[in-house]
Amino acid sequence: MEHMSLDPEIAARLKRNPEGLVPAIAQQYDTGEVLMLAWMNDEALHRTLTTGRATYWSRSRGQFWVKGDTSGHVQHVKSVALDCDGDTLLVRVDQVGAACHTGDRTCFDVDVLG
């Protein structure tokens, strides 16, 4: 895949961590259900915005991953928003199947604290 670059106006607004990453919260667009948190760098965000498929950066594998390419649990992107201080993305998606790698619908529905 050829190198793609993020819109400079968007890139200028991002506040990245020292690894160049921004946390991205995936939310079911119609119910508001919080599905998962993953990480994006500039290119992952560019791919997400231009392909309509949620694309993340895997910190453990050191590579891009398109949600659903292996599991079939695709995230069709409806919108992407940047929070008020530019350090978190909200990716509203239509989630097909489970969002969590464990097979659960969300990553937050099992281990409720307190």
Nearest Cα to Cα of residue 16 among 89, 67, 66: 89
Known binding residue 87? Answer is yes
Known binding residue 85? Answer is yes
Known binding residue 69? Answer is no
Known binding residue 84? Answer is yes
Cα three-residue angle 107-72-96, rounded to 5 degrees: 60
Neighbouring residues of 88: CB distance < 8 A, sequence distance ≥ 6:
22, 23, 24, 25, 82
Beta-strand relationship, 75-82 and 22-28: unpaired
Nearest Cα to Cα of residue 14 among 53, 45, 56: 45
Known binding residue 30? Answer is no
Is 96:74 a contact under the CB 8 Å cutoff? yes
Known binding residue 7? Answer is no
Q: Which residues are annotated as a binding site?
A: 83-85, 87, 100, 107
Q: Which residues are annotated as a binding site for Mg(2+)?
A: 83, 85, 87
Q: Which residues are annotated as a binding site for Zn(2+)?
A: 84, 100, 107
